[in-house]
Amino acid sequence: MASSPLSERLGRLFRLQDLDIMIREAQDPAVKKSEEEMGFRLQALEKLQGAREKLAETIDKRDLRLYERIAKKHDHGIVPVEERICLGCYMSLPTSAVPLTATPEHLLTCENCGRILYWLE
């Protein structure tokens, strides 16, 4: 699976991050009540967890371990870079950290906060 294009690998990790956020919201009574008052229905927790498990099976094991390690520390394990600034920790990235150094085999991470990085186009 590591041979998948980088954009495909990041896409799977983005979907996993979205599911993790929805699961946290479904577990938070205050968020659940607020969402229901606005007319939104949160999906059943079991359904979200099942979708997460299915998606996790399609993700390269190294990518999944990296994401899960980061997600334990930060709500968002994948963050954009704008003008060489990591938008997770707002620290400037070294000049050597350019989009070209991200390869299909290697996800780029912020040297400061450790989050997985992607560049806005």
Q: Where are the domains of the chain?
A: 6-119
Mean pLDDT value across the chain: 85
In CATH, 6-119 is 1.10.357.10: no
Q: What's the chain look like in SS3?
A: CCCCCHHHHHHHHHHHHHHHHHHHHHHCHHHHHHHHHCCCCCCCHHHHHHHHHHHHHCCCHHHHHHHHHHHHHCCCCEEEEECCEECCCCCECCCCCCHHHCECCECCECCCCCCEEEECC
Mean pLDDT throughout 80-105?
Answer: 79
pTM score > 0.95 for this model? no
| 1-41 per-position pLDDT tens digit | 445 688 899 999 999 999 999 898 888 888 777 777 777 76
pLDDT at 34: 77
